[in-house]
C-alpha cells in the first residue's frame, strides 16, 4: 500500500448467528448506522445477483421504519448505498464485503467491514480474508456481537 493511508478494517463477529441471512441483516444495520453517522458512500460487495436482490429487499424491510436510499449497481446513479460486485473506491467510502473474495480495490476505501457468522463456509472465507488483510500490513479490528 504505497503512500496511501491504510483503510480501517473491521470484522463484526456474530457469535450466535449461524444463518447467512443474519449476516445480510447485520450488514443492513451497518449501512443504517453508517448513514446516521454521516457516511455518504457505502458499497456492499456481493457475490451474485441473488444476494444483491435479497439485500435490495432487506434494505427496505429490515426495520419497520426503514428508508435507505440505495440501488443495485446496474441501476445506480448517485445513491449513497450501492449493492454490486464492481466497487467504485473512494477514500471517504465504506466497503461492506459479503463476497467470497476481497475486491482488489479494497485498499482505496477508507473503511472495510466484514461480517462473520458461525457458518462453516463463511467462517473459512472470512478467516482467509483476515489473513489477507494482515499480509497486506493491516491490523484488522475484531468486534464480537452478541
Number of domains in the chain: 1
Whichever domain contains 117, its CATH number is: 3.40.50.10110
Contacts with 146 (C-beta within 8 Å, 6 or more apart), sequence order: 15, 16
For residue 2, tell me if it sits in a domain: no
Q: What is the pLDDT of residues 42-73, one digit of tens each?
A: 999 999 999 999 999 998 888 777 777 676 86
Q: Would you say residue 137 has pLDDT above 80?
A: yes
For residue 118, tell me if it sits in a domain: yes
E strand segments, 2-140: 8-14, 42-45, 70-72, 81-84, 94-97, 111-116
For residue 61, tell me if it sits in a domain: yes
pLDDT of residue 2: 53
**CB atoms closer than 10 angstroms to residue 82:** 24
For residue 31, tell me if it sits in a domain: yes
For residue 60, tell me if it sits in a domain: yes
pLDDT of residue 1: 47
For residue 1, tell me if it sits in a domain: no
For residue 3, tell me if it sits in a domain: no
Closest CA to 77 of 28, 35, 29, 41: 41
What average pLDDT does the structure give for the chain?
A: 91
For range 25-33, the mean pLDDT:
96
Residue matched to cell numbers 445480510 = 24
User: The pTM is what?
Assistant: 0.92
The band of 38, judged by pLDDT with boundaries at 50, 70 and 90, is very high
Q: Would you say residue 8 has pLDDT above 70?
A: yes
pLDDT of residue 125: 97
Q: What domain range includes position 101? A: 8-145
Amino acid at each position: 500500500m504505497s503512500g496511501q493511508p491504510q483503510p480501517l478494517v473491521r470484522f463484526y463477529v456474530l457469535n450466535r448467528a449461524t444463518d447467512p441471512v443474519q449476516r445480510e441483516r447485520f450488514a443492513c444495520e451497518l449501512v443504517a448506522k453508517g448513514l446516521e453517522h454521516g457516511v455518504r458512500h457505502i458499497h456492499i460487495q456481493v457475490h451474485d445477483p441473488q444476494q444483491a436482490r435479497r439485500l435490495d429487499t432487506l434494505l427496505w424491510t429490515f426495520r419497520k421504519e426503514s428508508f435507505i436510499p440505495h440501488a443495485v449497481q446496474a441501476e445506480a446513479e448517485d445513491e449513497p448505498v450501492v449493492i454490486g460486485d464492481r466497487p467504485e473506491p473512494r477514500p471517504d467510502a465504506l466497503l461492506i464485503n459479503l463476497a467470497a473474495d476481497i475486491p482488489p480495490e479494497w485498499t482505496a476505501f477508507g473503511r472495510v467491514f466484514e461480517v462473520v457468522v458461525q457458518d462453516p463456509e463463511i467462517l473459512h472465507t472470512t478467516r482467509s480474508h483476515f489473513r489477507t488483510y494482515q499480509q497486506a500490513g493491516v491490523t484488522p479490528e475484531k468486534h464480537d456481537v452478541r
